[in-house]
Amino acid sequence: MAPALKVIAPRTSETTRSSVTTGLPDELLGEQIRRLRLCAAVAMGLWTFGLVMDSLVRPRTVGTPFLLSTFVIEGVAIAVSGLLFAYLRFTTHPPRIQAHAGLVFMVLNAMGVGLLNTWARPLTADALNELSWNTIVILCGSMLMPATPKQMLVAALLSASMDPLGIGLAALRGRDVPTAITTLVLFLPSYACALAAVVPVSILNRLGRRLRHARELGSYQLVRLLGRGGMGEVWLGRHQLLARSAAVKLVRPEVLGAGTEAAASMMLRRFEREAQATASLSSPHSIRLFDFGVTEDRTFYYVMELLAGRDLETLVREFGPLPADRVVWVLRQVCHSLA
């Protein structure tokens, strides 16, 4: 195995942060944040559709009166949805803060639905017997919001309480409302959905913890895939105790044609010897090897120095053939490493 080569270039440091809000790995948490942003855009569209229906379509078709309170509630909901979308699109806040904003958005949406159900519309028996749209808000939130089970339970219970809260506000305004026991019975489906909302969040966090554990190689944790090749994958790794990033190369025996147990063991011994030989190299133009080992599934891994910059293929592709003096400068470093 030829030693990996490096050409001297300015070094940059790279730091990554894991979310302390959930047990989700960074890339999975980022995907949830992107879905939350899409959810904000969809919510803005749905509230806009409701405003058009309540202000234009229903008054002209079925004769439903248009109320100023409906316009205010739905208009505020559209604005809140748009603000959340813009915040998630342009913010530099850590994922923990963005996740909290998503939970607040879920509760605010439920508040808007509760006010529409009990403030802007008549409190008839038929209307109250219908399933509240807050059940949809809670169930969708449980599948989209990055949160811990406890955080989701609190947010879901608050969301389920927005309809009873609206009933209470209607009573303070002198409207005829059901008794407290009747109100609780009417909105029991919302509270049942609030309890069920913990299930998908718990499953997602459990999968995230398993994925995080599966990515732990010795003292290193895999953060992001850097590239794939014929022999395996290279990941950005982070030491669990030291503030140091590294390049972690995974080499699976089956990729190299080791079909039997004996062949796999021989292949692993070969790479172990090569790793030891690479670690003994002292040229400043050879990649430093920090660690190596074998995982439980017999995947061999190297932990190597992480470099920032272009490789020669990218350099030639972007700038064309190199001048002769620059090629000589590169080859001198390559030969020093090989020597």
169 and 257 assigned to the same domain: no
10 pLDDT tier (thresholds 50, 70, 90): very low
What is the per-residue pLDDT across 197-225, written as a single tens digit (0 to 9) for each? 999 888 887 777 666 655 556 677 788 88
Whether residue 185 lies inside any domain: the answer is yes
Q: By mean pLDDT, which of 83-87, 122-126, 228-232 is the weakest?
A: 122-126
Instruction: Report how far residue 162's alpha carbon sits from residue 92's, in angstroms, rounded to the nearest whole number.
Output: 31
| Angle formed by the axes of helices 26-52 and 68-90, nearest 10° | 160
The upper half-sphere exposure of residue 153, i.e. CA atoms within 13 Å in the direction of its Cβ, equals: 7
Whether residue 141 lies inside any domain: the answer is yes
The type of residue at 315 is L
Question: Which CATH number covers residue 232?
Answer: 3.30.200.20
- Which residue in 72, 44, 70 sits closest to 58, CA to CA? 70
- Quick count: other Cβ atoms within 10 Å of Cβ 205? 18
The 3-state DSSP class for residue 277 equals helix
43 and 158 assigned to the same domain: yes
152 and 38 assigned to the same domain: yes
Contact between 4 and 307 (Cβ < 8 Å): no
What is the per-residue pLDDT across 101-127, written as a single tens digit (0 to 9) for each? 999 999 999 999 988 888 766 666 566
The 3-state DSSP class for residue 217 equals strand
Q: Which of 170, 192, 209 is the last residue of a domain?
A: 209
Burial of 197 (0-12, 13-18, 19+ CB in 10 A): buried
Phi, psi of 230 (to 5 degrees): -65, -25
From the centroid of its chain, how far is CA 198?
Answer: 18
The type of residue at 1 is M
260 and 179 assigned to the same domain: no
Contact between 264 and 253 (Cβ < 8 Å): yes
pTM: 0.59
Residue 236, domain extent = 216-308
Adjacent-strand bridge partners of 303: 248, 291
110 and 172 assigned to the same domain: yes
